[in-house]
Structure 1
Amino acid sequence: MCKSGPEISKRQKQLLEELGICDDEMSGQELHRRLHEKELSMGLTTIYRNLQALVKRGLVRSRHLPTGEVLYAPVDRDVHHLTCVDCGQTTRLKGCPVKDIELPKNKGQKFEVLFHTLELFGLCELCFQRQKKKV
């Protein structure tokens, strides 16, 4: 994890705790709703600003869906997905196909990996069959 930068704020801790409780990814809208239900209300803009700060610090990962929505999860949750570009259905992959990739080592350059993402886009079986019938 990235150790540089200021301490994590109270609001960022709240977001990390909420993301940690959930066993899946959450959108900024979902976080906003959950915090409001717990009377820990935080403005939506504040939520997105703090999520971006957590992503930059390497504490939260983000995943962009074809719809434009962004989902967030703690970086220690190493989950990857297959996403249908037609209906948006996502399926979790078992394990991490890139976990053991050996990164090139450039002399004189250090690179600390904070997190990685892997997203495979295509068509689920139903959308594939539906598009095949149109042709």
Structure 2
Amino acid sequence: MTVSETAVPPVVNIADALGRFTEQWAQRRIGGVNDYDVKVAKVQGEFVWHTHDDTDELLLVISGRLTVRFRAGDVELAPGEFVVVPRGVEHCTAAEEETSILLLEPTGVVNTGNAGGPMTKAARALESS
């Protein structure tokens, strides 16, 4: 038997998941698709310029507004909008107000990519309520 024959997959409420933590720039895993993590985060201020040399990164705004800065120009995202940052493209995210985002990227991707530094945080599983 496969898992799909013995269990019903969980339903994840994104708003509920975001309500269960307050730390900014700290990604929480809320699910997975094949070898990818589905993560949420709360962000405010400016992140570090970085690249992910081996993978694309999807950034979807749930609430607030997110600026994704590229050397070629900025992309402004409103709730319900997303951008895919291509692998190897240097970028920096920023938000004037607290903004909630959903990320889709391969398991194990480091949030600061090649930059490292004090904002590097491993994604953690969302704790049960």
In which range does the TM-score fall when normalised by the shorter chain? Answer: under 0.3
Q: Higher helix share goes to which structure?
A: 1
Q: Higher strand share goes to which structure?
A: 2
Rg larger for: 1
Tell me: higher relative CO, structure 1 or 2? Use CA pairs within 8 A at least 6 residues apart: 2
